Amino acid sequence: MSTHALPRSWGAEPAADGQWRFALWAPDAREITVEVDGVATPMMRKDDGWASVTTAARAGQTYLFGVDGQLYPDPAARAQAGDVHGPSRLVDPTAFKWTAEWQGVPWHQAVIYELHVGTFTPEGTFDAARHGLARLKSLGVTVIELMPLAQFEGQRGWGYDGVLPYAPHNAYGSPEDLKHFVEAAHRLGLAVMLDVVYNHFGPAGNYLAAWCPRFFHSSRTSPWGQGIAYEEPAVRAFFIENALYWLEEFQLDGLRLDAVHAMDDESDSHILDDIGRAIRAREWGRPIHLVTEDERNLTRYFHDDAPFDGTWNDDWHHAVHCLLTGESESYYAPFAVDPLADIETALRDGYVEQGQTRPGSEKPRGEPSSDLPRSAFINFLGNHDQVGNRAEGERLHHLVSDESALRVVTALTLLSPCTPMLFMGDEFLTDAPFLFFTDFEGELAEAVRSGRAREFERFSAFAGTVPDPNAPETALRSQIGRPESERQLRHEAFVRDVLALREIHVQPLLAAPTPTPAAAVTMAREGARFDVAWAFGPGRLLLRFSLGDGAIEPPLDPFFVEAQPDSRFSIAAAVRME
């Protein structure tokens, strides 16, 4: 058995002999105390803005920091006693005994499953989600990517409005429950990653702005609120330690960093680079996977010894979505011009938008990407953003009636050398949408409600009412359920079969040293018919498919063929060993 704890600059840390050390950075405060179960103790201030004290306490007690006479929860609390406005709870990270032997999952084996704890099961808890892991293992998933867990206002939400980045949202369970979830996943051979939000704090319960204004920039903002002062050493430590904390104390296998394009940092070394370097400087005893979401389509984070493994590739989603749905509004506009050409570019180069001028786009975006390893591109047919940011939360299979077309683009996504990701429920064509939902009150609730409605007024195809984000039934409707109908069971079996083929035939190729990606792919296209081959050390992966021009002739000895006589979509695949 082993324990895992990360000593941190911020917050409460257990010391010897029943003592706890409390520390807070509050450079603008005059008087700072810590109040444990109602008993206040003054904290000693230093010139650098830090205040600390060591005093008697025990795990399970509640505490608050007093700043100039006002009481606040610990911004680095490991847990809250209740909501984000009240006391924090002392958690001894050494109390949990880890027993699973775990070596991790290498990146070439990654098949990612994006999971929202609150809607994955009717109970919406870590414990209930733990009992659903065996199904995902049998499906062929190897990596669970949890949507953000940092505690946010209310009971229901996506997690991107977190205000206490160290505290797992207690509506899902305790820190110990999350650790049991991770250990159960590891026992099944599943890695667990976490989506973390370092670009902003949520609008309710962020008390840092009240007592530590230097944590933020007065003149710099993100799309979601005040800009964060990453240039301050104490602020920088808050986020770097947070990344290390999730990996150490919860034994997670990686992080997905949300919207890194919104992390505006004017330091000589960008905070994103420092987070990556801090993680790579440690020996973890297992692979640690780092993933970005970056609408800029930058490539420098994945070259040579750069610290990141992959990035969400919205370009792939947009091109396939436009092809199958015909939608062309908003950010789909440039991808609706010639989606087949965009799919060709994505298969060859990874990104579609690589800095070139494109019809329907206001300005160029991206950098040339053909030299990046294919595994750096995480491809998907849906995710929380692309589904949840629709007014009615429709998934691709809600918008497309051609089941063969869905199977073909699913197989293409799961069998290409890029890293595949499934959004929970898509694996069995769930009936449930994934709607935008929150649990705010008062003026904030009304602002979110009305703002959401205004957001869709400009879409000509939308003619209805937007579900109220704050209504409990909005979150309830988003629970994915389980496969029940013949159609759902059939599609889940199909996904299982395709992922088994990926494990047997594709992953061994990805594990081998490869030539420069730009020289390793050859492609021939005639209309909507494609022949693509990727070369690897031991052999080649060949995909032949049609995305609209009818049946195809499969390669010799294909290990997979999907063709339906009532559809113009078909696909075949094979591996040639050299």
Q: What is the pLDDT of residue 226?
A: 86
Look-up of token digits 């692309």: 386
Nearest to 331 by CA among 376, 302, 300, 297: 297
Query: For the stretch 264-301, what's the b/e string if a residue is b when 16 or more beta carbons lie within 10 angstroms of its beta carbon?
Result: ebeeeeebbbbbbebbeeeeeebbbbbbbbbeebbbeb
Q: What is the pLDDT of residue 39?
A: 97
The helix/strand/coil state of 540 is strand
pLDDT, one tens digit per residue, over 502-513 is: 999 999 999 986
Mean pLDDT by 10 residues, the chain (578 residues): 93 95 96 97 96 98 98 98 98 95 96 98 98 98 98 98 98 98 98 98 94 90 86 98 98 98 95 97 97 97 90 98 96 96 97 96 93 95 96 96 95 97 98 97 91 75 78 98 96 97 95 72 94 92 92 87 81 90
Q: What is the pLDDT of residue 459?
A: 65
Active-site entry in 258, 314, 327, 492: 258
pLDDT, one tens digit per residue, over 220-238 is: 877 777 899 999 999 999 9
Query: For the stretch 545-559, what's the b/e string if a residue is b when 16 or more beta carbons lie within 10 angstroms of its beta carbon?
Result: bbbeeeebebbeebe
CA distance readout (Å), 225 to 218, 219, 307: 11, 11, 28
DSSP-assigned beta bridge partners for residue 189: none
Structural domains of the chain, with CATH? 11-95 (2.60.40.10), 110-196+270-276+290-505 (3.20.20.80), 515-577 (2.60.40.1180)
Nearest to 536 by CA among 556, 554, 516, 555: 516
Q: Is 258 a catalytic residue?
A: yes
- Give the contacts of 490 (CB within 8 A, at least 6 positions apart): none
Q: What is the pLDDT of residue 494?
A: 97
- Give the contacts of 345 (CB within 8 A, at least 6 positions apart): 351, 352
The helix/strand/coil state of 552 is coil
Q: Alpha-carbon distance 62 to 35, whole Å?
A: 8
Say if CB 124 and CB 203 are below 8 A apart: no
Active-site entry in 293, 349, 385, 426: 293
**Greatest alpha-carbon span in the chain:** 78
Q: What is the pLDDT of residue 306?
A: 86
Q: What is the pLDDT of residue 463?
A: 54
pLDDT, one tens digit per residue, over 365-390 is: 999 999 999 999 999 999 999 999 99
- Give the contacts of 439 (CB within 8 A, at least 6 positions apart): 153, 154, 155, 156, 157, 470
Say if CB 143 and CB 193 are below 8 A apart: yes
Report if pTM > 0.85. yes
